[in-house]
């Protein structure tokens, strides 16, 4: 499956919050997003991993190659990483959020990091129409952390364990705006054929309406391609 860039592709580089972690937003990413949706509609989605609140299936290998061509020239400018670094994709999946709010565990009800390394990147390519939400970024109020790297990891998760048992522990449901534990510092709307890319150690969460959880249907639900990129220096 050949994947080509859209001729109207647009790139925006932003910085998240007070700590200024990089955020890449690409609109009109691929030339034929409908084809990616059709391929997903023919696939067999299954639960994968304990943390993701939904189902997934492997995205085409050609998508990884396309994403590497896109991001490599931007590594130095956007993410302060050497452009000659070796890239690997530990995950590249079609994803559908399907979990009812009342069934979420504690760590699914708060922002999360995907990895503590500052060299790991994550991307979300939105492939849905309608108001199924985007991606938001957060500051942990007690520590002030907007990202959690190796140096911050122990302090952050020690504090989080205390908060999980405290009076401000989040009720069942997806996180939305500000809460007693977290302040929302930025938000990217889920727009069809838009990609957002950020460091995997940024505190983030999908923005899901607890009163309107998406259906488990690639053609009508919250379909995205979620990718992790490891950068080896």
Give yes or no for a contact between 206 and 140, defined as CB atoms under 8 angstroms apart.
no
User: How confident is the model over 77-106, as pLDDT tens digits?
Assistant: 999 999 999 999 999 999 999 999 999 999
Q: Which distant-in-sequence residues (6+ apart) come within 8 Å of 190 by Cβ? A: 126, 128, 132, 133, 134, 135, 207, 222, 224
pTM: 0.97
Q: Which distant-in-sequence residues (6+ apart) come within 8 Å of 123 by Cβ? A: 67, 71, 195, 196, 197, 198, 225, 226, 227, 229
* CB count in 10 Å sphere of residue 186: 19
User: How confident is the model over 129-155, as pLDDT tens digits?
Assistant: 988 999 999 999 999 999 999 999 999
For residues 169, 96, 12, 82, the Cα torsion angle rounded to the nearest 10 degrees is 90
What CA–CA distance (Å, rounded) separates 175 from 204?
Answer: 10
Q: Which residue, among 94, 120, 88, has the nearest Cα to 224 in the 3D structure?
A: 94
Query: How confident is the prediction for the chain on average, in pLDDT?
Result: 97
Tokens of 27: 């609109």
Please say if the pLDDT value at position 1 is more than 90. Answer: no
């Amino acid at each position: 499956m050949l994947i080509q860039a859209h001729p109207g592709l647009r790139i925006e580089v932003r910085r998240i919050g007070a700590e200024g972690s990089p955020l890449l937003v690409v609109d009109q990413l691929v030339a034929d997003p409908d084809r990616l949706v059709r391929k997903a509609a023919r696939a067999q989605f299954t639960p994968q991993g304990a943390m993701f609140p939904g189902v997934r299936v492997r995205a085409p290998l050609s998508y990884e190659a396309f994403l590497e061509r896109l991001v490599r020239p931007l590594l130095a400018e956007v993410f302060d990483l050497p452009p000659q670094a070796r890239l690997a994709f530990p995950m590249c999946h079609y994803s559908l959020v399907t979990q009812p709010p009342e069934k979420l565990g504690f760590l699914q009800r708060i922002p999360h990091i995907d990895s503590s390394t500052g060299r790991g990147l994550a991307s979300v390519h939105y492939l849905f129409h309608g108001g199924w939400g985007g991606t938001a970024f957060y500051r942990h109020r007690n520590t002030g952390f907007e990202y959690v790297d190796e140096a911050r990891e122990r302090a952050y998760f020690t504090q989080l364990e205390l908060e999980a048992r405290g009076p401000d522990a989040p009720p069942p449901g997806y996180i939305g705006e500000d809460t007693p534990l977290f302040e929302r510092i930025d938000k990217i709307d889920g727009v069809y054929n838009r990609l957002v890319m950020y460091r995997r150690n940024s505190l983030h969460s999908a923005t899901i309406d607890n009163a309107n959880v998406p259906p488990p249907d690639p053609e009508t639900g919250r379909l995205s391609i979620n990718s992790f990129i490891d950068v080896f220096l």
